[in-house]
Amino acid sequence: MVTAGVVGATGLVGETMIEIIQDRSFPVSSFRAFASERSEGQKVRFLGAEYPVEIITPETLCKGMLLFGATSADVARMWVPACRRSGAIIIDNSSAFRMDPSVPLVVPEVNGHHLDGTEDLIANPNCSTIQLVVTLGPLSEMGRMQWVSVATYQAVSGAGREALDELSMQQRGHVAPEGSVRLHENVVTSIGDPASDGYCEEEVKLMKETCKIMGIEIPIYASTARVPVRTGHTEAVTVRFDEPVDARKAADILRSAPGLTLSEHGAAPLDSEGTDSVIVDRLRVNPADSRALQFWVIADNLRKGAALNAVQIAEVWLAAAEKGGRR
Ligand SMILES: NC(=O)c1ccc[n+]([C@@H]2O[C@H](COP(=O)([O-])OP(=O)(O)OC[C@H]3O[C@@H](n4cnc5c(N)ncnc54)[C@H](OP(=O)(O)O)[C@@H]3O)[C@@H](O)[C@H]2O)c1
């Protein structure tokens, strides 16, 4: 059993984490909820009881606690190092520590076996990365990958509660605030700030995180966009291998891979909402290039793209710690 806390408990990911921790009967002996001073006084329900939302500060005492982080990267940089020093174990959803070489970046189906239960900080990847690598992991059995091309169609909930509320208001006729991008009836082709090389932040995350998790150094050609969908990220993926590939063999591999569902009928983000599986659809080999496998990948960005993956990391970490006699 662990003493658990969710930091960012009032946000979209935090709320989903609380739901999933309960649904999967993750062994929690006591629970705390944290957020900013804006939420002080609010109550969060966990296993039938109400818990007050506490403010997290670098002085918060959390020795021995397992903390699920669901705050922005800037906020995570404020509390994670201090809570880690005070003896907490942290699984953080923000981008703050993902590319730190000393911090494991984990998708259990792909590299969870590297965890040994001694880690005190584990990073949860970006939502668009998770669903991609759940698919690329098993496909690496097909042969050496030369490059991956991915174009994303990302739901607005991926940008947090404020963005989702803004989309709802725009759907009711509210005009986008001056200087901000219209979400409703639009496609926003840059997620996060563009760097000097023209790639936006989301593209850089997708490219770097994919290579770190897979332990490979190949070109990932990423183009990311926000679309006016509430929940469920969609990705159009091409993987080019060294040798010609067989779509039926790829389907067999994916059918037996963990965390995946194979669809053949045009799955959509609405099919993924509230579900745990990453959906792969319309797997095909390019008629002009027998080495290029193409498919769609769809997943609930709040569940497998964030909260579910974090709880699965906790499950793997706890099993490894118990096996090593550390808990
Ligand atoms: N949404 C997704 O699909 C997704 C997927 C993968 C990763 N992530 C990452 O997960 C994190 C959370 O995302 P989200 O979508 O849940 O965002 P969100 O809905 O905006 O929630 C943010 C949470 O952070 C809390 N917070 C803000 N300032 C704080 C402070 N100073 N101290 C403590 N807590 C503070 C907020 O509390 P208040 O309510 O008190 O403001 C709220 O609980 C982000 O790093 C995001 O990039 C999100």
At 296-314, the pLDDT tens digits run 999 999 999 999 999 999 9
What tens digit of pLDDT does each residue of 230-243 get?
999 999 999 999 99
Ligand 1 pocket, residues with Cβ under 6 angstroms: 8-14, 34-36, 38-39, 56, 70-73, 75, 93-94, 126-127, 157-158, 160-162, 301-302, 305-306
Pick the CATH number of 128-301 from 3.30.70.930, 3.40.50.2300, 3.10.20.30, 3.30.360.10: 3.30.360.10
For 198, list phi and psi in degrees, rounded to 5: 95, -15
| Those residues with Cβ within 8 angstroms of residue 103's Cβ, 6 or more apart along the chain or in another chain | 97, 121, 122, 123
Average pLDDT over residues 11-37: 98
Whether 62 is catalytic is no
d(CA 186, CA 181): 9
CATH 3.30.360.10 boundaries in the chain:
128-301
- Using DSSP's 3-state secondary structure scheme, residue 93 falls into coil
CATH superfamily of 2-125+306-323: NAD(P)-binding Rossmann-like Domain (3.40.50.720)
Ligand 1: residue of 19, 51, 60, 72 to mutate (most ligand atoms within 8 A of CB) is 72
Q: Please pick, among 62, 83, 200, 233, the residue that the annotation labels catalytic.
A: 233
Whether 200 is catalytic is no
pLDDT at 309: 98
Distance 160 CA to ligand 1 centre (A): 6
H/E stretch holding 83 reads: helix 73-85
pTM of the model: 0.97
Q: Please pick, among 62, 83, 127, 200, the residue that the annotation labels catalytic.
A: 127
Indicate if the pLDDT at residue 184 is higher than 90. yes
Predicted confidence band of residue 61 (pLDDT cuts 50, 70, 90): confident
Asked whether 277 and 257 are in contact (CB, 8 A), the reply is: no
Predicted confidence band of residue 27 (pLDDT cuts 50, 70, 90): very high
Which ligand 1 atom is the nearest neighbour of the CA of 161? 19
d(CA 221, CA 218): 10
Distance 77 CA to ligand 1 centre (A): 13
CATH 3.40.50.720 boundaries in the chain:
2-125+306-323
